[in-house]
Amino acid sequence: MKIAILGECMVELSQQADGRFNMGFGGDTLNTAVYLARNGGQCDYFTALGEDEYSQNMMLNWAEEGIGTKQIKVYKDCLPGLYVIKNDDDGERHFHYWRQNAPVKQLLSRSPEVFQELQRYPLVFLTGITLSLFNDEDRELLYSFLSGYRENGGIVAFDNNFRPKNWRSMNHALNNYKRMMSCTDIALLSFDDELELYGEHTVVDCIARWQNGGANEVIVKRGAEGCVVASDDSVEVIHQEHVVKPVDTTSAGDSFNGAYLANKLNNKSIQECVKAANFCASVVVMHKGAIVPREINLVLGQQ
């Protein structure tokens, strides 16, 4: 079974210890696609790129990872977004983005056939960052599609991945997250992002908000503290069995999502999905960079 993942990947310039920059690529949904594939899942990536060499290199790399690229739109008059990661004297990372004219921002209006193509997949995954890419009119088209998609039996999985700078105001973000709740089946939530969005509250409050909003499977990610999982009328804490000292948490949530969805596609129980996802994330955070080398085992039970 193959799922659809909707989002953006950008060119990445990352500062090294000697002050020079390495070029790569990155994006939350793309990271999830990579880790889903490495955990045995299959997906097609939905985004838009240009005809430039950087876009072409991205697609070649994704194909090597086993990610489907047939649904990617190519606009010859566009270049992909760019971001720079700089490190300060204390080792803290600072991000600077040039994405205002990224081709993916035009995807839903310029290529409306995307909605018909998405309809063919049993599950669609997207994030809060995906939502923030589009203007209000295109987001309304997306919400309308997702509502109908669910009514026709499709499953929507959503990671709250909240970036305040991507929204024109907090109220604007909150209104859109509320709309997205009503379109979500599986909520994969970072509790830190929930606190940033809604202020101080408990995990129980968080679960109730998303269940009342429409989600029927809620996973609250709390890092080393493990996850709280709510499905139907049951709530369960699943502890992180592989507690480590993180080196780089950039892809902690993304790798969790990839492993969780890959196991979901293999008809594993929620508990099995979370345990596999916890393991994958615990390995990923022990390495620098969003995408760890391919030779590293990320599959629980194969170590």
Which one from 44, 159, 193, 254 is the annotated catalytic residue?
254
Confidence band for 259, pLDDT divided at 50, 70 and 90: very high
User: What are the b/e assignments for 39-53, b being 16+ CB within 10 Å?
Assistant: bebebbbbbbbbeee
- For β-strands 21-26 and 217-221, DSSP reports them as unpaired
Q: How far apart are CA 250 and CA 285, in angstroms?
A: 7
First to last CA, the chain: 25
- Is 232 one of the catalytic residues? no
Please report the domains of the chain, with CATH numbers, ordered by start residue. Answer: 2-8+28-74+101-284 (3.40.1190.20)
pLDDT per residue as tens digits for the range 87-97: 676 656 678 88
What pLDDT does residue 244 have?
A: 83
pTM confidence score:
0.95
pLDDT per residue as tens digits for the range 13-72: 988 778 888 898 989 999 999 999 999 999 999 999 999 999 999 999 999 999 999 999
Closest CA to 158 of 124, 192, 191: 124
Mean pLDDT (whole number) for 102-108: 97
Inform me whether the pLDDT recorded for 275 exceeds 60: yes
Residue of higher predicted confidence among 91 and 223: 223
pLDDT per residue as tens digits for the range 133-145: 999 999 999 999 9
Q: How far apart are CA 279 and CA 16, in angstroms?
A: 28
Angle at 184 between CA 220 and CA 284, to 5 degrees: 40
Q: How far apart are CA 28 and CA 126, in angstroms?
A: 9
